[in-house]
Amino acid sequence: MASEKKTVAMVLAKNFEDIEAIGPLEFLNSHGVDVVTIGVQRGEIEGKKGGRLVADVTFDEVSRDQFDQFDLLLIPGGGSPENLRINDAAVDFTRRFVESGRPVASICHGPQLLISAKVLPGRTTTCVNKIRDDVMNAGAKYVDAPVAVDGNLISSRVPDDLPAFYDAIGVALGIKQTATA
């Protein structure tokens, strides 16, 4: 187990894929990791299937000092990344996080936000097959695998890949020893 308390920034907007946000939130909380949900506005955010989470802060409220408190950025899929990618503050936050070298974990449609942040050229990633061509057109190498890790980028395709996604996140945060294949 890690000796210091970890904090994850989860970026979220309307129409998130419920299990891709709630599952990782529960996994992280069960390992003693704090999760701060960042949204375009404060308050309740509704998922595609009726799940509800609350944005603790907005992108505009996350100062440079607060930015440094996060150990990992989590980008759930569904319609959330498409809604976030049109918000300049969300795109800037994502770009700065990737460039910081700290881990960034995206699943499903999550790479849409990475595409808009222009951080995928030359990187290997996976995603839901519906945006496979989009990540390749953004300069990434697409792999069809449950999880792909390229430096600080961790990615998975769909909810069925969540166990492998959790393992990779756990390794990146130092809360698990090794990832399972």
Catalytic residue IDs: 109
Q: How far apart are CA 13 and CA 20, in angstroms?
A: 13
3-state SS class at 116? helix
Q: Are 6 and 34 in contact (CB under 8 A)?
A: yes
Tell me, what DSSP letter sits at residue 42?
S
Question: Could you tell me which residues come within 8 angstroms of residue 10 by beta carbon, excluding any fewer than 6 positions away?
Answer: 21, 24, 25, 35, 36, 37, 38, 74, 75, 76
Question: Could you tell me which residues come within 8 angstroms of residue 125 by beta carbon, excluding any fewer than 6 positions away?
Answer: 106, 111, 114, 135, 140, 141, 142, 143, 148, 150, 153, 155
Q: Are 81 and 111 in contact (CB under 8 A)?
A: yes
- CA 165 from centroid of its chain's CA atoms: 11
